[in-house]
Amino acid sequence: MTVKITREFLEKIPKTDLHVHLDGSLRLSTLIELSKAAKVPLPSDTEAGLQELVFKEKYQDLPDYLRGFDLTCAVLQTAESLERVAYELALDNIAENVRYIEVRYAPQLHVRPGFTVEAVVESVHRGLERAQREHNSSPGVRQGTDIPFHYGIITCAMRFFNRHMSAYYAQLFDVMPHAPTKEVMSIASLEMARSAAVLAHDKGIPVVGFDLAGAEAGYPAIDHKEAYQYAHVHFLKKTVHAGEAYGPESIFQAITECHADRLGHGTWLFAADKVKDPGIKDPNYYVKCLVDYVATRRITLEVCPTSNLQTIPSITSVADHPLRKMLDANLSVSINTDNRLVSRTSVTRELELVCENLPVTPAKLRNIILAGFKGSFFGPYNEKRALVRQVINRFDALEHQYLGRVGG
């Protein structure tokens, strides 16, 4: 007998979001309010207008999808705006029973004179910490009937940038006027890794990981190898946007050259037809070995279904998404939003799409949920184990309550 996984059940179960961009996840009302204060012109001053013109259900291509980030980044240039948006993002997740998030963003995009990378990260931390403190002092958490909320911060370096994207980048180009562009990018990512290590280890801010975001094709991760090596030897966890706009070789490079503990998207992991290196004589065997390596090392894939549907035209439905192959191969897969505003989604909605379009049993869903918590960069290890046990107990109790069964 097939058990229907209901929306109510998905709303109630504890969840994670390991791949959520701060600057892609504002509330529309907040964007409008902040734009007025910052004197940033918007294409419309109404939520409905912005959804029609900018934050759509469907996009033409990746540049169309990324258009909204010019607006959101423009209003996130003060400590107050960053703290507010981080606080609201945490509240929105808490409201749908997401109990662990890893908020990622590129601090260098928000730097201006007198407002350093460290100050940017501290502002976001204050907002997240306030939401955590409020939830964790609630009666449900104190009485043990609810799970505490936790968070981590992932700082992103950019694969590519230009001088117009932030004051930080403009200054870097000014002090390196004759350097090759690739070298400028490498220096920026190394500085970001160094700042992340200082914030995590010296200031006690939960900067749990380091990421590389932005245009993937044409801007290989190996150009940022020095930054990842620095993060690696300073005990920062590593994730890389890989396999979203390029093939298996990008994923291989993220793992072997950047020590990736997780993979952002990993969409084209199985795409042997996208292997470009002529030195790879048997692409199918190459992909088979790569998939097996990802599986056995339990390298978690941060899959963002709606985002992929909006930016990859060849994927027309969740049913056709490589997620099906990932689950069939028993890979460690977490389901994430990527950008709550830009993709007009939530964690609950992403899980609902997966359950509606793929043969996901309660047992398979349980594995997906646990993969998010187990694959997270939350620590120390014993605290993570305790959190996972809480999640297991809560999931099983809710499964019995809402689906009338437990396990398998």
**Sequence-ordered strand ranges (E) for 40-124:** 98-105
**Sequence-ordered strand ranges (E) for 167-249:** 207-213, 237-242
Strands 15-21 and 207-213: unpaired
CB 259 within 8 A of CB 237: no
Domain assignment present for 153: yes
Centre a 10 Å sphere on the Cβ of residue 282 and count the other Cβ atoms it contains: 11
pLDDT in tens, 162-194: 999 999 999 999 999 999 999 999 999 999 999
Cis, bond preceding 220 (omega within 30 deg of 0): no
The total number of structural domains that make up the chain: 1
Domain assignment present for 393: yes
* CATH of residue 279: 3.20.20.140
CA distance 55 to 64: 9
Domain assignment present for 193: yes
Domain assignment present for 142: yes
CB 65 within 8 A of CB 59: yes
Coil, strand or helix at 367: helix
Domain assignment present for 47: no
Query: Which residues constitute the domain of residue 209?
Result: 7-26+76-403
Centre a 10 Å sphere on the Cβ of residue 404 and count the other Cβ atoms it contains: 8
Per the prediction, the chain carries an average pLDDT of 96
CB proximity list for 210: less than 8 A, separation 6 or greater: 154, 155, 156, 157, 192, 193, 196, 227, 228, 231, 236, 237, 238, 239
Domain assignment present for 48: no
2: burial class by Cβ within 10 Å (0-12, 13-18, 19+)? Answer: exposed
Domain assignment present for 38: no
CA distance 334 to 265: 10
Cut 0.75: pTM above it: yes
The pLDDT score that the predictor gives to residue 175 is 96
pLDDT per residue, tens digit, the chain (408 aa), is 578 999 999 999 999 999 999 999 999 999 999 999 999 999 999 999 999 999 998 898 777 888 899 999 999 999 999 999 999 999 999 999 999 999 999 999 999 999 999 999 999 999 999 999 999 999 999 999 999 999 999 999 999 999 999 999 999 999 999 999 999 999 999 999 999 999 999 998 999 999 999 888 788 999 999 999 999 999 999 999 999 888 999 999 999 999 999 999 999 999 999 999 999 999 999 999 999 999 999 999 999 999 999 999 899 999 999 999 999 999 999 999 999 999 999 999 999 999 999 999 999 999 999 999 999 999 999 999 999 999 999 999 999 999 986 554
Strands 333-335 and 237-242: unpaired
The pLDDT score that the predictor gives to residue 189 is 98
Domain assignment present for 139: yes
Phi-psi region of 330 (alpha: psi -120 to 50; beta: other; left: phi over 0): left
| Token duo for residue 362 | 């309660």
Residues labelled as active-site residues: 244
CB 304 within 8 A of CB 338: yes
The pLDDT score that the predictor gives to residue 1 is 58
